[in-house]
Amino acid sequence: MSDVKTPPVGEKAPDFNLPGTGGKTYKLDQYTGKQNVVLYFYPKDDTPGCTKEACAFRDLSKRFSNEGAVVLGVSGDDVASKEAFAEKYGLSFPLLADEDFDVSTRYGAYKERERDGKKFMGIERTTFLIDKDGVLRKIYPNVNVEGHSEEVLNDIKSL
């Protein structure tokens, strides 16, 4: 599993079909021709770094919308966990459940990680900026949460 490939910038982003908050299923192609997509992968619902990242996107959600973009958060937690996370922090954008890590793997975000000297498979915090045509425009690997949502918002303005 160590030869995980990230899709190349400038090519069509891999489509997905995932269950998410609000009892809906989300597909990349439902936004094609309509909105830019900020697809961010995070390790786990309701953990300190993931909460900080989600709340930063929440706080800028109106500005993302004004720039013609939708924010979608993806992790391996189930929909019930996502619903509780969204409700607890008033998250106004969809959270998607990738329980089998298929989509995370296709985007190259599910990979071998290491913490406290132990290796394990998990989602590395990664964000993908996808334009209205479904083309991958920018990848933010191994994201540092501090200032990340503002950086993505600024980059959307140039699409």
Q: Catalytic residue numbers?
A: 50
Q: Cα–Cα distances in Å, from 60 out to 38, 42, 66, 87, 153?
A: 12, 18, 10, 17, 8
Length of the chain: 159
To which H or E segment does residue 80 belong? helix 79-89
Q: 15: which residues sit within 8 A by CB, 6+ positions away?
A: 27, 28, 29, 134
Coil, strand, or helix at residue 12? strand
Coil, strand, or helix at residue 71? strand
